[in-house]
Structure 1
Amino acid sequence: METLRSICTLRRYSAGQSIADAGEEPGFVGCVQTGVLRMQKTLQDGRQHIVGLLVEGDMFGRVLGGPLDVAIEAATDAEVCAFRRAPFEALLAQSPELDRLVLLSILHELDRARDWLIILGSPRVRERLAGFLLVLCTRFATVDHLLRTSNGALDVKVPINRTDLAHLLGTRPESISRAFHALADTGCITIRKPDLIGIQDLEALATEAGEDEMMGRATLKTLLTSLQTRVS
């Protein structure tokens, strides 16, 4: 930990600020401290597509070399611990604990990538949005400030704006707005604010998202028990 502190610099970014470009080989390995980063890819026709999000505790920057295949930008105001690459890689070779943490970070990112594939495979925007909200309640449940309880109910904060969410889910902001209201009409959610959603019926939300594909009933049951304990 002392060595990590000695090679770390805390960097602050404003929403929309570029952190690293695709094809670049940054001289640091980053770990998100606060805020949300977006991984963005530019298509051949110039269109940009968000392919994933990085939240508190996530790492980025290819360890042991190699250029980035996506651009990294701040989706919100963010703080990043930037570890100088050369000493970080040297420490990685000496520390099994650090090596394990990096491996777990990669595995978590792969798990989330599988979730995004399933979500984007849904034909309807409403299903994709339900899947995204479910991911916020599962994969991102440990991120500070995203889940909160209020008067015995569970609220989830959407950490990105509607434009970024539309890019992430492969649609338009207007379609995202309609999908939110469609889910509200079914009783799955309540729209408290544009970025604050009350989860009224998690099981119904999981059904909308195709929870059998995303997580399975056993996992959903465990999640429901955990969240109900948290709410109570």
Structure 2
Amino acid sequence: MISPIFFVFSLIVSCSYALHVQDFCVADYTAPQGPAGYSCKDPAKVTVDDFVHSGFGVPSNSSNVFKFGFTPAFASNLPGLNGLGVSLGHTDVEIGGVVPIHSHPGATELVVVAEGSSIIGGFIGSNNKVYQKILNKGDTMVLPQGLYHFFVNQGTTPAIIYAAFSSEGPTVQLMDTSLFKNDLASDIIAKTTLLDAAQIQKLLGGTN
């Protein structure tokens, strides 16, 4: 049985620690960035604007071959997110547009369809099994960390998708560009993918 004296002492230590825990670590973009992320801004210089992002009211730029655009609210442009392990993104997908197959090596993603219908969303498991579903407005889907995933807007209206990440600065790796828009020699790609040089050059312009 825990003695009353030990319990009281533990409670005092816990309360003392809680009083010294920093509420936040707003990113200081003027200081050097280390492996753990941004340095903390002087709390005396922190304002409410460090915790507010207003970029989602404007459509993302979707003028590309995939017909989709993405606007982030990451620690890199919303300093109050620094160190909190969460972030948000806004994706616009035009009619017939796609979010190409990609992964976030260090983050799980949770999406919700805010506008649109008949959107194919899915991911590929490490066993190469595909998990896909037709999503409509209001539907939510979780995309496990590190797995390749995609969206296809086969509906008749543009789609808006919000994505929450378990990282304040998730990285992204597009499968297409990783394979065919890198500085790896085409003959190496040919040997490792069983594609011939002509096929590689045709795919997204090839490499070198």
TM-score by length of 1: 0.27
More helix by share: 1
Taking structure 2 as the reference length, the TM-score comes to 0.29
Of structures 1 and 2, the larger Rg is shown by: 2
